[in-house]
Structure 1
Amino acid sequence: MTIDGQAVQTTGTFGVVNPATGEVAEQAPDASREQLDQAMAAAAAALPEWRRDEPARRKALQAAADLMFARSEEIGRILTLEQGKPLGDATMEVIGAGVWLKYFADLELPREVIQDDDAAFVEVVRRPMGVVAAITPWNYPLLLAIWKLAPALLAGNTMVLKPSPFTPLSSLKLGEVLREVLPPGVLNVVTGGDGLGAWMTSHDVPRKISFTGSVATGKRVAAAAAPDLKRVTLELGGNDPAILLDDADPAAVADKLFGAAFMNNGQVCSAIKRVYVPESLYGDVVEALAAKASAAKVGDGFAEGVQFGPVNNKPQYERVSELVADALAGGARAAAGGKPIDGPGYFFEPTILADISDGARIVDEEQFGPALPIVKYNDLEEAISRANGTHFGLSGSVWGTDAERASEVAARLECGTAWVNTHLALAPHQPFGGFKWSGVGVENGPWGLYGFTELQVVHRSKA
């Protein structure tokens, strides 16, 4: 682990499974309560000097970005081993981390003058919150860590980072690499199970918790933060709808729909999770998507030409298997896929489910895996109502050749991001967050930066 700029060993370890084999590939350190206390103390001790020197912070973030670019394949191989995604995708995740770091290294920290007259000079400035506890998920462990680290550190905070126990190795490597450019204590990386996360959220040192993960865990994080009035940003689940309008061209949109549903093997919080299609286009859309799924190459992320690796972990593999089996038992048709792939590892066939509707669990719940239900509709108003009829509200998309009409429909979606003729178009300058149970607060852009700051009014009397 990384605590106070030093490599720290633990007496206990836990196994990290390679999802392509289902076998333990490495051991990761299991932090004790005392080591978490040490990490928090180191972050608190580093805070006064770190918050004082903004140019040094920007320089450090630029250097961190350069390290991500330079060591992208090395870190990417670790990511593929523990997460399962193809090596090319893993390497691009590390490069993406560098892009995010570069963006925030150059982002302005605004100061706003709201009064300057004979009576007073009054300025509104943004101050760091203090120590940030960051807890990250297993689908994009490195990139989503940087989504938190880059704005938090730019704002002058310090951090204790805990990755998912399914994917701790890449974050441990991140801590090791960034020791080269960050002062001791600014970033501390600790690993362990769910108990460690609970210790972090209830710890008396952090003033902010930034969490990405499930709705159920997010609610527990919010409850743990409440007694100490810790600030929280929660990026939680999504059940993102895509609505095709009656003027959509199935052949033209199939590639984009499939890519946005199955990116990272469907393990993306804002991926397309259900598609609503007018009856007149239904057969063509199902056929086009089924052809894409049937042609996809699934395998070990280190193998040449693989498009999709395994589901990351056994519980999620079992959940996807259960949801697909439940849909088929309820009368749905597997136009492609429909079952686990025989052999070792957590591999599941890319699956397109047809003849299915709302009420099926895989439509109503977030599957977070390589299975996509295609739902028929006859009335657009009904489709919009069904798309919005959920506790989730992360993102959604509308597809049609009349972009103005599609935009009008997209504006009626109850979600944090409404795309038109695209989906999963994410960027560092664009805020990302959810409505309803999909989250509290936003990440990315200046809005994400502001989430790691407190407003302070500086009022200087001239009287």
Structure 2
Amino acid sequence: MTIGGESVAADREFGVVNPATGQVHAQAPDCSREQLDAAMKAAAGAWRDWRKDEAGRRKALHEAGDLLMAKAGELAPTLTMEQGKPIGEATFEIVGAGYWLKYFADLEIPTEVIRDDDQARVEVRRRPLGVVAAITPWNYPVMLAAWKIAPALLAGNTMVLKPSPYTPLSSLAMGTLLKDVLPAGVLNVISGGDELGAWMTSHPVPRKISFTGSVATGKKVAQSAAPDLKRVTLELGGNDPAILLDDVDPGAVADKLFAAAFQNNGQVCSAIKRVYAPERMYDEVVEALAARAREAKVGDGMTEGVQYGPINNKPQFERVSELVADALGNGARAVTGGRAMDGPGYFFEPTILAGARDGMRIVDEEQFGPALPVIGYRTLDEALERANATHFGLSGSVWSADADRAAEVAAELECGTAWANTHLALHPGQPFGGFKHSGVGVENGTWGLLGFTEIQVVHRAR
């Protein structure tokens, strides 16, 4: 672990499973309560100087981003072996994390002058909160850590970061790497299980909790933070619909639809989770997606040419298996896939489900895996009503031969990001967050940066 600029071992360790084999392949330190206290103390101590040196923060973030990019090839195997994604995608994730750090290194911290006359000058300034406790998930451990590190540190905060216990090694390696360019205590990286996360959210030092993960855990984080009035940003689950309009060419959009549904083996909070297709072209849509699924190459992410790795962990593997079996037992049909693959590891066949309908668990819930239900509809009003009839509201997309029409319909989706003729189009300058149970607050862009600040009014009389 990295605590106060030093590499620190723990008295206990826990096993990290390679999802391609289903076997423990490494050990990670299990942070004690005393070590958490030390990390929080180090972050609080570093904050006193870090918050005062904006130029130094920008320089350090640039150096951190450059270093991540330069070392991406060395870190990628560690990420692949604990997460499962192909080595090329792991490299891309780490390079992307470096890009995020460098983007925020140059982002303006706004100050607004709301009055300037003979009586007074009034400025609205943004001040850092203090120590941020960040908890990240297992699907994009390095990238989603950067989503938090970059704006939090630019704003003048310091951080204690805990990755998922399924994927701690890449974040720990990042912490070791970045301690050479960040002042001691500015970024502390620790690892442990759910108990450690609960200690962090209830700890008296942090003034903000930034969490990415499931809705159920997000609710627990909010409850834990409430007694101390900690600020929270919660980026939670999604059940993104993709609505195909009646003028779309299924063959022309199938590649993009499939890529947006199965990226990272479907383990993306804002991936397409359900497709609504007009009844008259329903069979054509199903077959176009199934053709892509049949061609997909699934295997160990360390193997050249593999496009999709395993599901990351056993509980998630069992959940995807259960949701697909439930759909098949209730009248859906696996046009391709539909079962676990033979052999070791948590591999599941890329699955396209025809005959799916609202009310099936795999339609109503978030599967977070390589299985995609396709649902038919008769009228556009019906499709919109069904797409919006969910507690989720992260993102969604509409597809049409007419881009203006797609955008007009997409605006009717009840979600934080509405895409037209694309999906999963993300950028560090573009805010990302959800409606309803999909989250509280946003990440990225100036909006995400402001979430790591408090407003201070400076009123100066003339």
TM-score class normalised by the smaller sequence: over 0.9
State yes or no: 1:444 paired with 2:440.
Answer: no
1:54-69 alignment to 2 at 5 Å? 54-69=54-69
State yes or no: 1:139 paired with 2:146.
Answer: no
Amino acid of the residue matched to residue 156 of structure 1?
A: G
Deviation track 1:97-147 (CA, whole Å, cap 9, x = no partner) reads 011011100000111111111111111110000000000000000000000
Amino acid of the residue matched to residue 10 of structure 1?
A: A
- Provide the secondary structure at the position in 2 that maps to 1:27: strand
Amino acid of the residue matched to residue 104 of structure 1?
A: F
State the Cα distance separating 1:349 from its structure 2 match.
Answer: 0.2
State the Cα distance separating 1:416 from its structure 2 match.
Answer: 0.1
Alignment match, 1:78: 78
Deviation track 1:243-296 (CA, whole Å, cap 9, x = no partner) reads 000001001000000000000000000000000000111111100100000110
State the Cα distance separating 1:403 from its structure 2 match.
Answer: 1.5
Alignment match, 2:203: 203
Amino acid of the residue matched to residue 444 of structure 2?
A: N
CA distance in 2: counterparts of 1:68 and 1:45, whole angstroms: 25
- Provide the secondary structure at the position in 1 that maps to 2:160: strand
State yes or no: 1:235 paired with 2:235.
Answer: yes
Q: Single out whichever of 113-122 and 315-324 deviates more from structure 2.
A: 113-122
Q: Single out whichever of 100-109 and 403-412 deviates more from structure 2.
A: 403-412
Alignment match, 2:432: 432
Where structure 1 has 5 or more consecutive residues not aligned to the other structure, the ranges are none
Alignment match, 2:363: 363
CA distance in 2: counterparts of 1:18 and 1:436, whole angstroms: 34
Number of paired residues? 462
- Provide the secondary structure at the position in 2 that maps to 1:21: coil
Amino acid of the residue matched to residue 205 of structure 2?
A: V
Amino acid of the residue matched to residue 236 of structure 2?
A: L
State yes or no: 1:308 paired with 2:308.
Answer: yes
CA RMSD of aligned residues (A): 0.5
Deviation track 1:198-218 (CA, whole Å, cap 9, x = no partner) reads 000000000000000000000
Among the aligned pairs, what percent are the same residue? Answer: 75
CA distance in 2: counterparts of 1:73 and 1:310, whole angstroms: 21
State yes or no: 1:11 paired with 2:19.
Answer: no
Deviation track 1:380-416 (CA, whole Å, cap 9, x = no partner) reads 1111000000000000000000122211111110000
CA distance in 2: counterparts of 1:307 and 1:227, whole angstroms: 45
Alignment match, 1:89: 89
Q: Single out whichever of 10-19 and 399-408 deviates more from structure 2.
A: 399-408
CA distance in 2: counterparts of 1:31 and 1:102, whole angstroms: 30
Amino acid of the residue matched to residue 354 of structure 1?
A: A
- Provide the secondary structure at the position in 2 that maps to 1:373: strand
State the Cα distance separating 1:45 from its structure 2 match.
Answer: 0.3
CA distance in 2: counterparts of 1:149 and 1:383, whole angstroms: 39
CA distance in 1: counterparts of 2:266 and 2:296, whole angstroms: 13
Give 4+ residue runs of structure 1 displaced > 3 Å after superposition: none
Normalising to structure 1: TM-score of the pair?
0.99
1:184-203 alignment to 2 at 5 Å? 184-203=184-203
CA distance in 2: counterparts of 1:406 and 1:42, whole angstroms: 50
CA distance in 2: counterparts of 1:135 and 1:98, whole angstroms: 19
1:59-458 alignment to 2 at 5 Å? 59-458=59-458
State the Cα distance separating 1:165 from its structure 2 match.
Answer: 0.2
- Provide the secondary structure at the position in 1 that maps to 2:352: strand
Deviation track 1:279-320 (CA, whole Å, cap 9, x = no partner) reads 111111100100000110000000010000000000000000
Amino acid of the residue matched to residue 132 of structure 2?
A: V
Amino acid of the residue matched to residue 343 of structure 1?
A: G
CA distance in 2: counterparts of 1:407 and 1:310, whole angstroms: 35
CA distance in 2: counterparts of 1:406 and 1:170, whole angstroms: 39
State the Cα distance separating 1:51 from its structure 2 match.
Answer: 0.2
Amino acid of the residue matched to residue 291 of structure 1?
A: A
Where structure 2 has 5 or more consecutive residues not aligned to the other structure, the ranges are none
Amino acid of the residue matched to residue 16 of structure 1?
A: V
Deviation track 1:138-165 (CA, whole Å, cap 9, x = no partner) reads 0000000000000000000000000000
CA distance in 2: counterparts of 1:130 and 1:19, whole angstroms: 37
Amino acid of the residue matched to residue 413 of structure 1?
A: L
Amino acid of the residue matched to residue 412 of structure 1?
A: E
Alignment match, 1:21: 21
Normalising to structure 2: TM-score of the pair?
1.00
Amino acid of the residue matched to residue 317 of structure 2?
A: Y
CA distance in 1: counterparts of 2:90 and 2:405, whole angstroms: 37
Deviation track 1:184-235 (CA, whole Å, cap 9, x = no partner) reads 0000001000000000000000000000000000000000010000000000
Amino acid of the residue matched to residue 176 of structure 1?
A: T
